[in-house]
Amino acid sequence: MPPPLPLTPPPARRIAAGQDHHAALHAGLHWQVPEHFNIGQACSARWAARPAQARRTAVAWQAEDGRSGRLSYGQLHAQAQRVAAALQRLGLQRGDFVAVVMAQRPEAAVAHVALQLLGVVVMPLSMLFGPEALAYRLQDSGAVLALADENALAPLLAVRSACPALRHVVAVGAAPAGPGQADMHWRSLLARPAGRFEPARTRADDAALLIYTSGTTGPPKGALMPQRALIGNLSGFVCSQNWFGAQPPEHSDEVFWSPADWAWTGGLMDALLPTLYFGRTIVAFQGRFTPERAFELMQRYRVTHSFLFPTALKAMMKAVPEPRQRYRLQLRSVMSAGEALGDAVFGWCQRALGLTVNEMFGQTEINYVVGNCGRLLDHRGRAYPGWPARPGSMGRAYPGHRVAVIDDAGHECPRGTPGDVAVHRLDVHGQPDPVFFLGYWRQPAATAAKFTGDPAASWCRTGDTAVMDEDGYLWYQGRSDDVFKSSGYRIGPSEIENCLVKHPAVANAAVVPKPDAERGAVVKAFIVLAPGVVGDAALVAALQQHVRGQLAPYEYPKDIEFVDSLPMTTTGKVQRRVLRLLEQERAVQLVGRETCE
């Protein structure tokens, strides 16, 4: 079992010498990946074995209807063992695929621990998935069992007949079990003692998770994640949360909460599992996100650390401009990821929340590889700067990860030149980076296409375009297929969207290319207005002038469309591809009408 903290700060004399300790952290980190490693053991069993830690709250939960409670580490592990033993009696075997379709709730945490102890492969699925999305993933994975709560059971049952491998469905919470419903209820899994249950002795390279990514083309691909991937996430998690987990649990009051769905990488690998790995308390809220509810939860549970994606922070900024006048907050750090944060929200967090947000970048296949770190702690718990954040930047490579911007041939681009963000299989010491996925499930060609160079020592492309400056900071340009050209100018949507959001009339914005016969494309902005604002020609002109006055002349939106909402992924990202295809379809229809006339 690796130590709780996978990296140590530089010697105290070097910490005090300057304000930038990025290079020293990279030099000092040497991955400690044992031959055998199990996420369930690391996140539950080892804490339950310590009497004082066993009494500590692992999950503090609250439902939207006001119900609440707490689950200690001792209870978490005891329930996980009972569930694992019950599923083993059902015939579940090591290496089987199991779907977990639940909200943030204590049963979800227990399920993840139990399934890892069994050595099966967990497939987290969003409750927002409809029948078609569920059927594809269940069929593609060959999942043999599914755990679903009351919000997910109906669409799951609707496709069960089309998923022949799915032998068992377990109802959770208020979901019913019985004829025509689930085969059994969660309560029945907890009814019998675990007996002589023996956890699986998994290797660090054994598969632990199957997470489907929303690809830009074709159906989603299942990224197969090893047990060791959690270890690979930890250096970024620790740094982005300003040295979270540095002190022993008994000496810490750290509490984590994020609205991120535990069914996707951001909620699972950036919140739930690393918090449990460090023996801290995570807050689970089973309900709909609202800015006011977010502040209320952070106040009630004295949340010290959070992951808040840009969409959430924008909504919080608009709804509660001065949160510290209304709420007693204990926040010490906030990480943000999924989209570029933008200097408008960045500045609001500094002024209104009293902290500098640590932006982070990663993806399911290679998560938590780039970002910022606002604070280090030495061996005495004294705080020092990590490395300075630069507003608008994605940050730098987190310790243990070798990151570069590469061209189409796989060569590193000169500093200041746009290219594809890529992560090398080997770290700066020439050792394997544990963060890497195993490959795409049953898609060897897609796996091979993800890498450039020698298979044993190659670059893994993210598909995101960025510029690296002389100090190693990355500046996001957009997804490779989101960047477009207009009149020969290369345009990324993030900067324009950030500028639009600064206008008081704008709640959110998405920028895509609109086909244009003369320029190839022009900038098109879809805008969600702030409450009470009416979209008219005067506002269009004002927004265009607002952007024209802040950015380059070719970047202002030639066309603006006001919409009630933007298409979003289940992970809270704007689906620009949907809007881009909409504009392409409209252009084709327009040409067709003109031809007929």
Quickly state the pLDDT bin for 2 (edges 50, 70, 90): low
> What confidence category does residue 364 fall into, taking pLDDT thresholds of 50, 70 and 90?
very high
The model carries a pTM of 0.87
What DSSP letter does each residue of 58-112 carry, written as one string?
A: EEEEEETTS-EEEEEHHHHHHHHHHHHHHHHHTT--TT-EEEEE--SSHHHHHHH
**pLDDT at res. 216:** 44
Residue type at position 30: H
Tell me what pLDDT residue 476 has: 87
Given a cut of 60, is residue 595 above it in pLDDT?
A: no
Please determine, for residue 415, whether its predicted confidence score (pLDDT) is greater than 50: yes
Per-residue confidence band for 7, with pLDDT thresholds at 50, 70 and 90: low
Average pLDDT over every residue of 123-140:
90
Confidence class for position 596, pLDDT limits 50, 70, 90: low
Pinpoint the alpha helices (H) of 100-200. Answer: 106-118, 131-141, 153-158, 186-189
Name the residue among 175, 174, 188, 115 with its Cα closest to residue 145: 115
Asked whether the beta carbons of 85 and 192 are under 8 A apart, the reply is yes
Give tens-digit pLDDT for 48-107. 999 999 999 999 999 999 999 999 999 999 999 999 999 999 999 999 999 999 999 999
pLDDT at 3 over 70: no
Using CA of residue 338, residue 344, residue 349, residue 354, what is the dihedral sign?
positive
**Is residue 13's pLDDT more than 80?**
no
Nearest to 348 by CA among 375, 313, 373, 389: 313
Helix 493-501 vs helix 537-550: angle between axes, to the nearest 10 degrees? Answer: 120
Domains of the chain: residue spans and CATH:
39-59+72-227 (3.40.50.12780), 482-596 (3.30.300.30)
- Find the mean pLDDT for residues 514-542: 93
Lowest-confidence segment of 22-36, 138-152, 247-261, 379-393 by average pLDDT = 379-393
**Bridge-partner residues for 395, per DSSP?**
474
Q: Give the mean pLDDT of 402-416.
A: 95
pLDDT at 4 over 60: no
Mean pLDDT of the chain: 91
Give the per-residue pLDDT at 486: 84
Query: How far is the C-alpha of 83 from the C-alpha of 192, rounded, in Å?
Result: 9
- pLDDT value at residue 597: 60
Residue 457: exposure state from Cβ atoms within 10 A (0-12, 13-18, ≥19): exposed
Residue 150 confidence (pLDDT): 95
Q: What is the mean pLDDT of residues 512-519?
A: 87
229-251 mean pLDDT = 93
Confidence check: pLDDT of 169 > 90: yes
- Between 97-101, 338-342, 400-404, the lowest mean confidence (pLDDT) is in 338-342
Is residue 217 pLDDT above 60, yes or no? no
Mean pLDDT across 153-165: 95
Q: Tell me, what's the pLDDT at 12?
A: 63
pLDDT of residue 582: 94
514 neighbors 587 (Cβ within 8 angstroms): yes
**Residue 46: pLDDT band by 50, 70, 90 thresholds?**
very high
pLDDT of residue 213: 86
pLDDT above 90: residue 557:
yes
